[in-house]
């Protein structure tokens, strides 16, 4: 019963945080609310006996990834955007209608289906008997899931190389997104000074 209560609390916080993320105009506020949401999700992982994932959620997501975001947010001067319109004018209303309807549909489907367990036997008790969540998960990761694991490392490597390439400063004179439109051209040095 206590678990259910905790789940409701975590879930409510997570949803509230998420709503905050998409409504705040200040990016830094949004970022902090996102961290808050992730921590609550980590709490739900904990409730589900996924200890390792809960830790990873906080370390990698709330830690590494969001720190990266914070770094870039600070790197760029974003204050000027706060004065601008934050929402699409027409699209806003489409979304206000569409998102609740989608949500209702998903909830309808999810609740209409009777979920039954496959029952593979890895109950929390069994896992605890075998040495705990981290140990069993690790064992599976390095045996059954070894190939995907290696591929994941490759994806990270490619992501890293790609990020470096994309973010590297070009040393051209002026950069035109649309080559035919001269007004669109921006001198690189000018941007660099600003960035």
Q: Is 147 in the site for other proteins (CB under 8 A)?
A: no
Give the whole-angstrom CA distance, residue 11 versus residue 44: 8
How is residue 73 written in tokens? 């947010």
Considering the complex, what minimum distance in angstroms separates the CB of residue 10 from other proteins?
9
Closest CA to 176 of 188, 186, 189, 191: 186
Q: Is 146 in the site for other proteins (CB under 8 A)?
A: no
How is residue 3 written in tokens? 């678990």
Considering the complex, what minimum distance in angstroms separates the CB of residue 112 from other proteins?
8
Q: Is 78 in the site for other proteins (CB under 8 A)?
A: yes
Q: Is 129 in the site for other proteins (CB under 8 A)?
A: no
Closest CA to 163 of 97, 71, 96, 88: 71
Q: Which is nearer to other proteins, 169 or 173 (CB)?
A: 169
Q: Among residue numbers 21 through 40, which ones bind other proteins (CB under 8 A)?
A: 21-22, 24-25, 27, 30-31, 34, 37-38
Residue 102 CB burial class (10 angstroms; 0-12, 13-18, ≥19): exposed
Give the whole-angstrom CA distance, residue 81 versus residue 26: 9
Considering the complex, what minimum distance in angstroms separates the CB of residue 53 from other proteins?
6
Residue written as token pair 């739900």? 44
Residue written as token pair 């190389």? 161
Considering the complex, what minimum distance in angstroms separates the CB of residue 130 from other proteins?
11
Q: Is 44 in the site for other proteins (CB under 8 A)?
A: yes
Of the candidate residues 39, 166, 171, 180, the single one contacting other proteins (CB under 8 A): 166
Q: Is 183 in the site for other proteins (CB under 8 A)?
A: no
């Amino acid at each position: 019963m206590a678990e259910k209560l905790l789940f409701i609390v975590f879930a409510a916080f997570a949803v509230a945080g998420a709503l905050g993320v998409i409504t705040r105009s200040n990016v830094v506020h949004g970022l902090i609310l996102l961290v808050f949401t992730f921590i609550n999700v980590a709490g739900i992982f904990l409730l589900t006996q996924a200890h390792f994932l809960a830790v990873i959620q906080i370390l990698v997501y709330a830690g590494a990834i969001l720190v990266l975001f914070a770094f870039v947010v600070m790197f760029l001067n974003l204050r000027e955007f706060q004065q601008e319109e934050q929402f699409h004018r027409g699209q806003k209303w489409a979304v206000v209608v569409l998102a609740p309807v989608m949500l209702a549909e998903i909830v309808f489907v999810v609740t209409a289906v009777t979920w039954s367990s496959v029952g593979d036997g890895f109950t929390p008790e069994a896992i605890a008997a075998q040495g705990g969540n981290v140990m069993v998960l690790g064992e599976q990761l390095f045996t059954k899931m070894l190939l995907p694991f290696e591929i994941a490392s490759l994806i990270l490597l490619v992501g890293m190389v790609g990020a470096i390439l994309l973010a590297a400063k070009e040393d051209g004179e002026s950069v035109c997104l649309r080559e035919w439109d001269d007004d669109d051209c921006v001198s690189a040095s000018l941007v660099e000074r600003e960035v």
